Structure formats: C-alpha cells, structure tokens
Structure 1
C-alpha cells in the first residue's frame, strides 16, 4: 500500500508492541485508509497486504535499514499497489463522497468539418492534475512504489484510476486514456519506457540510449517529490536504481552511473525560470556533482541526447563514492569525489543576475552576454554566491552545422559545463559544483580564458597541448 503519513501518526509497529502484533493487530485501531485498503483487498480476493508502518519496526534503525533495501522486491512482486492518492493522512481513507455524474466523460457532437461525430472533451493534463498532483504523489518515496508495482489502483478525490505497464485508465475512460493526454511512462523496460520518452522528446531511435532516457525520466519524476528526512534522498530511489542497473550495466555513483558519466554531470535544476533554486539539504546526501546533493526538480537529459564521448573535453580519471553501509550498495553515501583532467576559466567570466529570476543568470564573457547559467542553490552558507569565487569548467564542446531561416547552413559552436567554487581561498585543486552554464557564442574567447588560467596568457601556444584550450589541469570535485 502507498499512503501519506501526514500529521496524524498511524498505528505503528514498534519494539514495544511487536509481540502483541504477532498475536493480532486490532482492526479498530487502524487508520481509515488502512481499513479501506483491507476492504479493497477482500474485494480483490487477496489475503496479504504490506504496509510500511505495520511491517517495519519504526523505532529500529537496523530493521528500517534492512527492510528499506528490500522494498524493490516487496513492490515488484506484489499483485497490485493500493494507493490512497487523495488522502493527506490516514484519516481521509481511500473512498470519498462524490457526485457520480462527474465520472461521465464530456461528450461533444461535432457536425461540421471533415470528421463529424461525437467526441469526448478532456484536458491534456487530465492524468497529471488528477493523479500525479494528488497529495500522495507529491511524496518522493511513492515514486518507486508506483514504478515497481506491476499495477496501481489510485483512489482519487472523485474516482478510481488504474495503470499498468500497458495502459492507464479511469472510471471516466475505462478502456484507456484518450490519445494526446499526458501520462507518466510506467514501464521499467528501456525498450518500452525509455524509447517512449525519447519519442516524446522528438529524438531519433537509438536503443543504446533507452536505459539512460528511462533513468532520466525517473530522476525527473522522483526529484519533484518531498522528503521528510533529506538523508533518505538516495534510499527512497534505491529500489529503482537496483532494477535499472541490469539495463545500464554500470557502477552506481550516488544517483549517477560510471558509464558516460561526463554527460550526466550536466544535469540542471528547475525548468521554470521563475522558480527559486532551493538550498542544499543541511545534512550530507551526496557529493556536489550528483543531483542527489540538492532539493528540487532535476532535469537530466544530456546523456539521452548524445552518444559516446566525442564531444567531451573533460577527462574523468577516477570516480568514487563511500557508502554508509557496504550491505546497501544503492543507499546512503558518506562522501564522494571525481578526479579529473580538464580546463578552467575564471578571469573574464562572470554571471549577471536576471531581474526577477533569482538563481538564473546571464553568462558574461569579456562584458558580452553569451549564454545562460543556473546555480544549484541560491545561497551558500547563508550568503549569495560571490561571482569572484567562481570557476567555469567546460565539459561538452560541440561544433555542428544548423539550418537557418534562409535555408542556408551555419556552423554553431556550443559549450556546456559546470560552475564551480574552490573549497578554500587559496589557489587549489579541489572544487565543489555550484551550478551549470551554456553558451553558443564566444566559444573561442572562452577557450582563450582557459589558456590564460593555465598559462597566464591568452595567446595560442606553439605546442599541441597549449593550443586552443591550453594544457589540461588535474583537480578534484567533491
């Protein structure tokens, strides 16, 4: 079962009552949501139900750690998941009073045009508004429960919704949602879910990128949700990570994958330019180069669009994370680092804040506006990030021909990378990520700034190592 705990604490399994619960759980002390779920269980002809607060000893960190690592098996091997979607807490229950007339589809008769007939009127955001925006699905933990369960029964405010890997439906549309309605891709098969996400973005069929597309979609959905305890950031998606590893076939690094890691470092935050970037969690959740190090919605699509490392200018020499427990390979981490060889720019580059767009900046190179940048957290240790502290790390540099309005083609130089900050005031070799930048202008000037940082001069060198970008430097990102 999926449910919101809310402010009303449900009956819980504790070290003090486990012996009593083994003899019997008093049904009259269960929350309304739990009682309704058991009623649904009987209607389905099933005999067992798994509810986190009744199946994990809530005051035992050891039992919680062990059972949280097994949640992928619990949900993926279930018959279905009963979701009290509209309930903010257990007092609301699964069932709600409703006007049955609201379940009927809105039918419109069209008499004119090439295809007259009776049509159903439905909002494009029907599923998003009624299911994905329900109180339950605003919780981060629920993301993996929805993905892992083979079927979901979501009890909404006005009707029942259901979904599996093949279909999403409701009482209004029992045969499936009409074409054009947005829905979340549920399948964990990259050939289905990943390929569908790439088609939605208008991308060509590249099967080797399907698994990364699917993982990017999962991270995007998961990062929208809220967590009561920030330290659960990686734990609450660990079940999905364990399932996806067999498809991606790579080491897991705090939410990212060793394979094609450079592309994955280019994740960005809020898509809404009016959104204020949220601060990093007060407790350590992941190294700064991982999306799991911050709150808020994440967009992680670069590895979805690009194959291979032909456009990558950053060399990753080593990437490691230290787990809190070696027994939980997809769980919490204590630390992590990247050892890299790359280019850096500093003098000549600055950010200029856009009016009313906190955390979103214009990228200024030698006093010219050449691109955009976003900071991961609008504040660092309580103060606005100082532009004089920032370094710029190019990761992806691509030259390509694009067609312009006249039908002619022109060469575009695109540069993308990370905004970083040194971990000490002294010139050092250790940095943390604080943001992301992108430009399609002045890339030659940006290369000159990298030459200046490493050689002290913007002039093109005489050896292959010092031409264009200048020599690569070795440093660590934590």
Structure 2
C-alpha cells in the first residue's frame, strides 16, 4: 500500500536511473491524544510512520508521513467494490441521503412540499422496462415531487438534444442508448436512489429557441437549489466519460493479529501491549498525505493492487526497518529486509514493533486489522481539482446545489449543507468543524485534524461574503462561449441578491464597488476582446484568471477610499427578464485625483508606470497590472487612485502588514469628452502614493465605459 501511494513521477525517475531502491520506514509511538481523552474520556492510541526512499546514488529522501490512529467511532458498512457504480457504492449513497433527511436540520428545506418544479423533467422510467424514460412536462397545479439534477461537461455535440422538432418524440420516449454516458449513468443513479425524475439541461431546455434558453436560465438558481440531490460527473472531460470508474481497493484487511503472531517465525511473545482497534469492528486506520499511484504503474513494476508482489525482482525494492535510527538518520549496519514471499510475516513484525512502542494496555485484539488510505488533501485533489471543476458553467451548479454526489476517478464523495463524506471515510464529517478550524464543537464522528482535514475544501457560503473567491475560481474555468461570461454565473448573483439590499452590476457589487474595481489578471491577455460583453471596468470584459489587489475590509485589513463612486449604470440585453445576465452597455462615473504617467516600462513579466523622471525620496514608479499586453509605449496612461489598503508582506523576512495605495489605470476613449476606458490597475507603497497623488493633482469626475 505504501508503494502504490508514493508519487509515481519521482519513483519512475528513480527507477530509470537506479537498479536498486529501498523503502526505509520508521514507526514511532506517541502518547495518547489528550484532546480526545478530555472530550470523550477514552484513550486513543496514536503512532507515526515515516517512509523514505534510498538508492545507491541518493541518500535518504523523505516520501510520506502517515498518522496511524485507532478510532473508536462506528462507520457504516465499508464499500469493498473496486467500481464506483457498484450496488454497494450506490447503497452507501442512499444511506448518506437518508441520514441527511433524518437528522440534518439545515437540509430540511429539501422536503418536496417546499420544492418548485422545473418547466420540464425526465421521467427515468422503471428498471424492468415497463415505463421507458421520456420527457415529462408537469402542470402548474402539479404537486411538488423530488427530482435529481446532473452536473456534467457536454464535450462534443450530443446526438440527442431537445429542440422544437424533437420535443414531441422525446415526450414519448428518450433513446437512452444514444445519450452521452454521463446521461445514461445519471438515469441509472436516479433509479437506484428511488427517485423518478431527473433534470438534464440538454434534454430539458429547448436548444434552438433563444427565448426558452433565457427563460430557463433565469430559473437555474431554483432548479439546482431545489434539487433533491445533484449528480456530479466530476471525472469527465466530456459527457462520454460517464460518472463511474474502476479504481484500486480502498482498504486492505490483514486478518487477526493474534492468529498470525502465533504463526510467525519470531517466537517473541507480546505481553499486554497491542494496537487497540474497534472491539467488534475493524482496528487501526491509516491516514496520510499520499498521492494515489495508477494501477498501470503498479503492473509495470510487478506489484499487484493489494500490495502483494506478483513475482519477479525487476524493481529491486526492499523494505528496511529503521525504527532505531540515530540522529544522523543513517541506516544501521544490520537491517531487516522484507522478502517478497513473506509479506504477512513481516507485517506481523511491524505490528509487534507498533505494539511495543505504543504502550497501550490491554489484551490482544481478536478482530481483523483493516488499513485504509486517506489522502490528507483528498477533497481538494479529487473534487476541487476535478475536470468538472475546471468548467466555468458548473461552478454555480455546485454552489447552488444543497446536496451533491461527486463521482470522481477514485471514489464517491458526498456533500450537503451540513456534512461531507467519502467511501474511504464514510461517516459524514460536520462541515463547520472541517472548514472552520478551531471550532469548539466536537461530535462523535470527529476525531482530529488529520482525519477531518482530508475532507476539507472550499466553503463558499454565504455566496455574497465569498464573492472574491467565487470570481477567482470562476474566471479560472473554461468557457466555450465568451459571451456567456456573466450568464454562466447569473444564478449565483440571483442567489446573493436575495438576502441583501445591495445592487449588482456586471459582476461587481455597488456597496463594495471601489475595492471591487481593483481586480487584475494573473496573466494579461495577448489581445483585446473584439465583441462587447461588459464595460471595461468589469472582469467579465476580459479572459483569464482574476485576483484582487485589496481584500475585503475587516478590522485586521482596513480600507480607506480615495475616490468617490458617483454613479453606476448597466443595461442588460434581456431587459428586466434577467438583470444579472448578459450586458449590452455599462458605465460608472468616478470623482478622484488623476495623474498622468511619464512613460511605461516592461521588464520581462514586470510592468511599471514611471511617475517622474526627477530625483525624489519616494518611489518613482508604480507597479502596473495591464489587462492586455502593451507592445508600444503609450503616453496617455492615467492613474486614478481608489483606496489605501493593508496587506501581509509577501517576503518571509519582513513579517507584518504593508500599506499600499491602489487604483485604476485608464486612457481616453477618444469618443466623448471625459470618457475613458480601463487598461489595468496600479499599486504603490502608501508613503510614495501620498507624495505623488495628494499634492498638485487635479480632482476630476470621469466616466469609464
């Protein structure tokens, strides 16, 4: 299991250069967890297993560090299947939903009585074929019923789409065999969970009728928010990839400790020391920061999925116990090597060593030892970094959904408003403990940072308070049609508008407008966008990942505004039908000090605006973050300071806060007097900023379009 979880790229590189590699491990016992005993009154033993790689050419190289903890909580029946679409996996999904229905107060609004049905739904039919899948149009008086939703990537044009022509035929029957695999899998999942209806955009929105598209788009927020549960085809680059996948076993069972210790060649008897596990369940659980190794890599090096060798010695791997390493971390002259044909015997040796070091009182456990690998950043790597998460359209589908089943490449994940879980850690972990470290609340299924942090990830609620993070995630995603830049997150904007008196303008909020204007592109565009989709002051007017010069104001990071926002106006192409959607015109009028730069400089990826050629005690230039790469040296770039703000110093040597002045960089539009277009943002230390912009500058009101 250790070998199969070590970084494949590093091992591959080492194997190409070395004929002989050794795994070196050190098992070190630690004292019982005081926090657990204080809260539960129980002793929870803990140990740490450190693993290194050694070759003839290289000294010891640290690979992974595993925390071995004996948990006392009770888990649901663990899924043994190596297929994420198995009956056992879907049964576990059903148990998560049932637990959510029965005990999660935050999720109680999911009761059918509170649901608003979409315009069209797919009746998934029955597994026996008596009722075939077909499109169903509920009446206005239809009683609300539970329905599922699908979040997936389209990929190539599907063979079956809802159009004005296909509508009558799809109402009779949907040709399931012609649907993308993700659509077929979603129908299977919906049936398995006992739900009759499913919403898929390609089959529930008339694709060749623009009016219907905008009508349904305005309902997108409620469609996903009121969904009984969203099926997320997280691993799919396209719809053909599907939801399910084959994967490596999630655990390994080693049988009874006591029975195998009696069979081992070592006559050593253990007296009153053991690894304490579940009394009637499984024993210790292994949790660590590991990257899963693909099965094809294991086969290439003659190692089977379960960790047993499949024969041969081509890889030259050896296992060495260095539990008594000295301070210089060198391998002792004599070491115990784990032979390939006696793996269980050597596992017994490790268990004895663990028993000796952990010093936990009690008799030998009669139950099996079950080891499960749990990557420390499992949620981030499998869910947040999945192919589906790289799609801009699907961000709002995920954030608006109250409950989601994430089908990833390795396993199934669960997420609702209250908790998270996965197959390797099936007992749900409360979200407010996972996502807010240091919370006082402790539940019966939260036993420490190491375990729960594996399921930690982005917690972007309430949406309005996390708008900066949402924009950064959203703009880092792929979007097929640039004109959908604002459309693809209109549902999130509508959701945020519900509980606020603020107004929304092309991706920015009026009450935080001055600071929100200071977005910048991590990498400038090579050329300007030709088709209009938003005013230049909106991040929706450009392509690329966006970040902000100034964070949201709080007591630790205060913000002081220098310019005044006199007016903000936007006009959507949809009129009142969808005010958060596509924009056809927008402007803002700002009153503030203006200073024209002397010249522009570029040094590699560093851009600067020179404010003066004269010698001065203050910094003569401002850091410039252009929206588009500037090839020439324009002389009409004007700085408009917006605010003072404080940020943490970037360099580690000088800890503390640093104060900046930041603002817009604009240039005349050439169409109307006092009309400008944004070209980027600038930043300068506060002291220099005060010197350059508070004296002998003109206060002027301009329009930016």
What is the TM-score normalised by the length of structure 1? 0.78
Q: Is the 8 A contact 2:524 2:626 kept in 1?
A: no
> Closer, same or farther in 2 for the Cα pair 1:136/1:344, shift >3 Å?
same
1:442 matched to 2:688: yes
Measure the CA separation in 1 of the matches of 2:251 and 2:623.
46
Q: Contact (CA 8 Å) 1:324, 1:334: kept in 2 or not?
A: yes
Which residue in the other structure is 1:346 paired with? Answer: 596
User: 1:71 and 2:214 equivalent?
Assistant: no
CA gap 1:123/1:283 in 2 versus in 1, 3 angstroms: farther
Matched, 1:416 2:662: yes
Q: Which residue of structure 1 lines up, in the alignment, with residue 269 of structure 2?
A: none
Q: 8 Å contact 2:251–2:372 — kept in the other structure? A: no
Aligned partner of residue 21 in structure 1, secondary structure: helix
Q: After TM superposition, give the deviation of residue 46 of structure 1 in Å.
A: 0.6
Tell me, in whole angstroms, the C-alpha distance in 2 between the residues paired with 1:255 and 1:332: 10
* Structure 1 residue matching 2:499: 3-state secondary structure: helix
1:290 aligns with 2:538: yes
Which residue of 2 is the match for residue 460 of structure 1?
A: none
Could you tell me which residue of structure 1 aligns to residue 572 of structure 2? 323
Matched-pair contact (CA < 8 Å) for 1:365–1:442: no
CA 1:342–1:146 in structure 2 vs 1: closer, same or farther (change >3 Å)? same
Quote the residue 1:475 is aligned against: 702
Return the alpha-carbon distance in structure 1 between the equivalents of residues 608 and 489 of structure 2.
34
- The answer to whether the 8 Å contact 2:600/2:633 transfers is no
Q: Is 1:255 matched up with 2:507?
A: yes
2:634 pairs with one of 366, 369, 387: 387
**Cα deviations across residues 19-43 of structure 1 (Å, max 9, x unaligned)?**
1111221222222211111111011
* Deviates most, 368-377 or 139-148: 368-377
Match of residue 172, structure 2, among 17, 23, 29 = 23
User: What is the total number of aligned residue pairs between the two structures?
Assistant: 422
Using CA pairs under 8 Å that are at least 6 residues apart, name the structure with larger relative contact order, 1 or 2.
Answer: 2
Change in Cα spacing, 1:385 to 1:9, as seen in structure 2 (3 Å) is farther
Structure 2 unaligned blocks of 5 or more: 1-149, 254-284, 289-349, 361-369, 435-450, 614-618
TM-aligned CA deviation for residue 179 of structure 1: 4.1
1:392 and 1:23 map into 2 onto residues whose CA distance is 63
Q: Residue 670 of structure 2: SS of its match in structure 1?
A: coil
Select the residue among 165, 175, 188 that pairs with 2:461. 188
Q: Structure 1 pair 115/377, CA: closer, same or farther in 2 (3 Å)?
A: farther
CA distance in 2: counterparts of 1:62 and 1:436, whole angstroms:
38
CA RMSD between the two structures: 3.6
Q: Specify the alignment match of 1:207 in structure 2.
A: none
Distance in 1, matches of 2:501 and 2:637, equals 35
CA contact (8 A) 1:376 1:435 kept: yes
Q: Does residue 1:47 correspond to 2:196, yes or no?
A: yes
1:353-368 alignment, distance < 5 Å: 353-355=602-604, 357=605, 360-367=606-613, 368=619
For the residues of structure 2 that align with 1:146 and 1:399, how far apart are their CA atoms?
33
Matched, 1:6 2:155: yes
Return 119-128 or 166-175, whichever deviates more.
119-128
Q: Is the 8 A contact 2:420 2:455 kept in 1?
A: no
The alpha-carbon deviation at position 135 of structure 1 amounts to 1.7
Alpha-carbon distance in 2 for matches of 1:84, 1:407:
45
The answer to whether 1:431 aligns with 2:431 is no
Maintained 8 Å contact 2:287/2:375: no
Give the 3-state SS of the residue equivalent to 2:198 in structure 1: coil
Residue 180 of structure 1 and its aligned partner are, at CA, apart by 3.9
Please give the per-residue CA displacement for 1:132-174, whole angstroms capped at 9, x wherever unaligned: 2222111111000000111111111121122122323221222
Specify the alignment match of 1:140 in structure 2.
392
The answer on whether the counterparts of 1:141 and 1:227 sit within 8 Å (CA) in structure 2 is: yes
Matched residue, 2:466: 214
Give the secondary-structure state (helix, strand or coil) at the position aligned to 1:153: strand
How far 1:277 moved relative to its partner? 4.1
TM-fit CA distance, 1:80? 0.8
CA contact (8 A) 2:383 2:408 kept: yes
Distance in 1 separating the partners of 2:371 and 2:692: 56
Structure 2 matches for 1:71-110, cutoff 5 A?
Answer: 71-101=220-250, 106-107=286-287
CA contact (8 A) 1:165 1:186 kept: no
Contact 1:343 1:471 in 2 (8 A): yes
Q: Where does 1:461-472 land on structure 2 (aligned, <5 Å)? A: 468=695, 470-472=697-699
Task: Determine if contact 1:216/1:301 at 8 Å carries over to the other structure.
Answer: no
Q: Aligned partners of 1:407 and 1:377: how far apart in 2?
A: 32
Partners of 1:137 and 1:262 lie apart in 2 by 30
Name the SS of the counterpart of 2:518 in structure 1.
coil
1:376 — aligned with what?
627
